[in-house]
Structure 1
Amino acid sequence: MFQFGRMFPTMPSGRNFSETYRCYSVTMLGDRDDVERGGKIIMPPSALDKLTRLHIQYPMLFKMTNRKQNRETHCGVLEFVADEGRIYIPYWMMKNLLLQEGDLIQVDNVSLPIATFAKFQPQHTDFLDISNPKAVLENALRSFACLTVEDLIEFKYNDKMYELRVLETKPGRAVSIIECDMNVDFAPPLGYKEPERVMPHAQEPNKMEEEDIEPDCDSFQVFKGRGNRLDGKTKGLDTPDKPILNVPPKRGIPNYNYKKNTITFIRTSRRVENGAQSPEDKMFEAFSGEGQSLRKTKTKSRK
């Protein structure tokens, strides 16, 4: 049977893609960091030909199974350029599947639910040095297509490799993370210990009162230094220092009546303790002093 708009004849529905390949790491292809730092594999062209004849659901997702070790994981596909009978996968995926170069692996196409939640556990405390781990992880997961519980994924950030264990995924043990809105949570890294809380000891009342009276040595104090005499004597300088209260300096009051291009002299008045007005409180008068003469005036004598 042929359908309109299809190049290849369709196969009966209900058939799945299931093949066995020789598995090799991506390093066999040369410098392919785009594959090594992600969760997608490279398959042969014959796999694409078979997939196009089946009723598969896009995006193409696969389950890889190592029957000898009873290990499995899920992945996507990046290219169909591998040699016939071979597939190339990231090295971290080979470690999860306990595979060696050239081992047989079974590949089946699957349909996975869209991820809504995932929980990861960093494998080293260095992960705590990342300022925004969620943003870094979001950028790293763009090269992945699936997440499987108990997988140990790797990604590179600032020329350093980080490993994360997938502890939990929802709504299933294997989920698709392509074009999804997923909530992320982190478990404490391996080897991480909570810092011990130091409880303050109860202080005696006398010591607390003394601390309240004594000024804080670390805080700012006005005129805290000592004076020195030019003749080297220490007379009057050996008196014990008195505690200086830490009073914040008073701020001046701005002159709101200031006019541009003018100078204002502010004179302060002082009050005498007995209530009398000091000479400085009198109104200022120009040239109000008394004159003095250098030549003495002659007094007329009376006869």
Structure 2
Amino acid sequence: MFSLSLFNDILRPFNVTYRCWSVSMLPGSEREDVERGGKIIMPPSALDALTRLNINYPMLFKLSNKKNNRVTHCGVLEFIADEEKVYIPYWMMKNLLLDEGDMVQVESVSLEVATFSKFQPQNSEFLDITNPKAVLENCLRNFACLTTGDVIAIKYNQKIYEMCVLETKPGSAVSIIECDMNVEFAAPVGYQEPEKPKKQVAEEMMVDPADLMPEPAGFIAFKGSGNRLDGKKKKENADDQSNQVVRVAYQRGIPDYDYTIGTIQFLRNIRSVTSEKETEENVFKPFAGSGSVLKTKTKK
């Protein structure tokens, strides 16, 4: 016949209070694998009690600090701790506001599988990592669950990066064992986006190619300005201004800013360098020619 006391043991959840200690206080060699993850070490008596209770696997627990009303969730790694003691990672003790030897309540829970989580790095140095999602995925393999509001610690390239869990779905506490979870990152604490250069500064830095062209030298036809008979100032139209633009002939050593891609120019009219006397003779002089008459006078 099934006893009532055994039936009550099966339905009763695991709920025990232990004294907590950091992993560094665990006897034996240093256990960095425990410090990097989100699992605790419990005494052998806890395993004996859990096997007699109706709990879901994998084993997940809720840790509570009744004095400060702080709660987090974790998994279990081993059952080798001294009786009435549990060893938990230091970052977890900071979240629970616990000191060495304080009392912590350990209660078995069942959590939903995670589908989404959002993290915020606590330092902008996290942006220096080439592939942050891959690094985070690799580090979360040592975790069993996540709790919204916790600040977890991950280690990469001999550096410790703290990550705040901003959001988890479908609940405030989720299991991340064998799950397909989407991960997003918020801007790190204290991060400021680089300022974009102002448009005015960019416009000042632009150079007009017309300013680089040499000033025309020598006589330029039709460059003068006209006058009105009534003495009033002449109004300048857009057409007049366009007519006043003078095309400067190509000079050797000065780039042609009107060049279009896909065209070839053969400059065959470039004269060689001549002496100063020849250049003075070739200078155009207006109204310097000699006149002629149609009928010549006969000498008597």
TM-score bracket for the superposition, by shorter chain length: 0.5 to 0.7
- The reply on whether 1:170 has 2:181 as its aligned counterpart is no
SS for the counterpart of 1:78 is strand
Amino acid at match of 1:130: I
SS for the counterpart of 1:126 is helix
SS for the counterpart of 1:175 is strand
Aligned to 2:153: 154
Quick one: structure 1 residues 203 and 87, their matched pair in 2 at CA, closer, same or farther if it must change by over 3 Å?
Answer: closer
1:200 positional shift: 2.8
1:207 positional shift: 4.4
CA offset digits 1:60-116 (Å, max 9, x no partner):
000000000110100000000000000000000000000010000000000000000
Aligned to 1:27: 24
- The reply on whether 1:193 has 2:204 as its aligned counterpart is no
Aligned to 1:210: 210
Distance 1:151 1:57 in 2: 24
Amino acid at match of 1:15: R
- The reply on whether 1:38 has 2:49 as its aligned counterpart is no
Amino acid at match of 1:210: A
The gaps in structure 1 that reach 5 residues or longer are: 3-8, 215-239, 251-303
The gaps in structure 2 that reach 5 residues or longer are: 215-250, 263-300
Contact 1:26–1:36 under 8 Å retained in 2? yes
TM-score by length of 1: 0.67
Aligned to 1:142: 141
Distance 2:102 2:126 in 1: 33
- The reply on whether 1:97 has 2:96 as its aligned counterpart is yes
Aligned to 2:254: 243
Distance 2:157 2:211 in 1: 49
Amino acid at match of 1:243: I
SS for the counterpart of 2:100 is coil
Contact 1:43–1:79 under 8 Å retained in 2? yes
- The reply on whether 1:16 has 2:27 as its aligned counterpart is no
Amino acid at match of 2:107: D
Distance 1:245 1:32 in 2: 74
SS for the counterpart of 2:133 is helix
Distance 2:210 2:95 in 1: 65
Contact 1:11–1:55 under 8 Å retained in 2? no
Q: Report which of the two has the higher share of helix.
A: 2
After TM superposition, list the pairs within 5 Å mapping 1:281-296 onto structure 2: none
1:203 positional shift: 4.3
RMSD: 2.9
Distance 1:44 1:35 in 2: 15
Contact 1:41–1:87 under 8 Å retained in 2? yes
Contact 1:120–1:185 under 8 Å retained in 2? yes
Distance 1:172 1:63 in 2: 14
Percent identical residues: 64
Quick one: structure 1 residues 98 and 211, their matched pair in 2 at CA, closer, same or farther if it must change by over 3 Å?
Answer: farther
- The reply on whether 1:111 has 2:110 as its aligned counterpart is yes
Contact 1:39–1:76 under 8 Å retained in 2? yes
